[in-house]
């Protein structure tokens, strides 16, 4: 009887330890209260309406989309659209077998459809080089999906809880030997009055709205 009791006790302890080792982060929830999934399209939109003023006028911020300084500049950058929900995106976790998108996990983020302005560049997000002229590091496109290493470390992002909503961050851990910044993504108005996604001390508070795009 003692032997059976010991085995039962050992089994319970082992199960508890295994559960602790396999602890998972909570799922990201969309505006309808449903879990975000890798096989669905979403619009990333402001959690709270906001207005940003440039040198001449003010803009009401909307969802995320693709933008360019001119028709010849590629790849396209990630920008905040003015007063609309932007373009549909997909979120692909590092572990592609995991269908649910969870907070604080590595993600590739990409716009769901190609853009005819830059047909030879992917819409996968990546961190651009530091722009010393304005002191900003923007989020652009042209990245690749998967294969985490020192050459692709700029392509990985995370979603974190932020107050009653979420924020996007660049703080990858898929390449422990790679050196990189760890900062929130916020909105910066450039010299062309574009609201661009960039590394920032002021996070862009967002929510996720499932798209009807297929």
Asked if the model's pLDDT at residue 5 lies above 70, the reply is no
Fold (topology level) of 25-210? Trefoil (Acidic Fibroblast Growth Factor, subunit A) (2.80.10)
Spatial CA neighbour of 187 closest among 209, 168, 160: 168
Q: What percent of the chain has pLDDT over 70?
A: 87
At residue 10, what are phi and psi to the nearest 5 degrees? -65, -40
Task: Say how far apart CA 67 and CA 95 lie, in whole Å.
Answer: 29
Q: Name the residue ranges covered by the structural domains of the chain.
A: 25-210
Asked if the model's pLDDT at residue 18 lies above 80, the reply is no
pLDDT in tens, 53-111: 766 778 788 999 999 877 678 999 999 998 899 999 999 998 888 899 999 999 999 99
pLDDT category at 214 given cuts 50, 70, 90 is low
pLDDT in tens, 159-174: 999 999 999 999 988 8
Burial class (CB within 10 angstroms; exposed 0-12, middle 13-18, buried 19+) of 15? exposed
Task: Say how far apart CA 31 and CA 107 lie, in whole Å.
Answer: 20
Report the mean per-residue pLDDT for the chain.
86
């Amino acid at each position: 009887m003692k032997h059976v009791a010991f085995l039962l006790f050992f089994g319970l302890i082992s199960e508890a330890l295994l559960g602790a080792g396999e602890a998972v982060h909570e799922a990201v929830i969309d505006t309808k209260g449903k879990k975000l999934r890798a096989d669905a399209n979403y619009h990333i939109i402001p959690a709270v309406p906001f207005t940003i003023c440039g040198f001449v006028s003010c803009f009401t911020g909307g969802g995320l989309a693709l933008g360019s300084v001119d028709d010849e500049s590629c790849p396209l950058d990630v920008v905040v659209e003015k007063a609309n929900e932007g373009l549909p995106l997909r979120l692909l976790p590092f572990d592609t077998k995991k269908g649910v998108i969870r907070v604080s996990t590595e993600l590739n983020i990409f716009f769901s459809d190609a853009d005819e302005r830059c047909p030879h560049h992917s819409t996968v997000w990546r961190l651009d080089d530091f722009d010393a002229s304005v002191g900003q590091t923007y989020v652009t496109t042209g990245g690749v999906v998967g294969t985490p290493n020192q050459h692709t470390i700029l392509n990985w992002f995370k979603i974190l809880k932020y107050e009653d909503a979420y924020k996007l961050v660049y703080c990858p851990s898929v390449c422990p030997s790679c050196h990189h910044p760890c900062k929130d993504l916020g909105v910066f108005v450039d010299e062309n009055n574009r609201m661009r996604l960039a590394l920032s001390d002021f996070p862009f508070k967002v929510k996720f709205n499932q798209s009807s795009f297929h």
